[in-house]
């Protein structure tokens, strides 16, 4: 059975909701280098970078040990 764009394998009569997301992918990162101290704006090109905070889905980027919101 297909509901919208989500295919279900079996009917579930519980009140639980399931959400399935495509894994994000990166096609390009620019620039390819920057300052060691940071501060360089980075553009990441790709797809499926969903931002759905109501479901706890918030994209981020990690450069070494530094995490930044996407």
Which is higher by pLDDT, 15 or 41? 41
- Residue 19 predicted with pLDDT over 80: no
- Residue 27 predicted with pLDDT over 80: yes
How crowded is the C-beta side of 21, counted as CA atoms within 13 Å?
A: 14
Q: How far apart are CA 55 and CA 58, in angstroms?
A: 9
Domain boundaries, position 23: 2-69
**Total tally of structural domains belonging to the chain:** 1
pTM: 0.60
């Amino acid at each position: 059975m297909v509901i919208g764009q989500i295919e279900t394998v079996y009917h579930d009569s519980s009140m639980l909701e399931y959400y399935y997301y495509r894994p994000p992918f990166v096609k390009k990162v620019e620039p390819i280098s920057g300052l060691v101290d940071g501060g360089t704006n980075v553009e990441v090109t790709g797809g499926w970078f969903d931002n759905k905070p109501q479901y706890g889905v918030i994209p981020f980027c990690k450069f070494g040990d530094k995490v930044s919101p996407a």
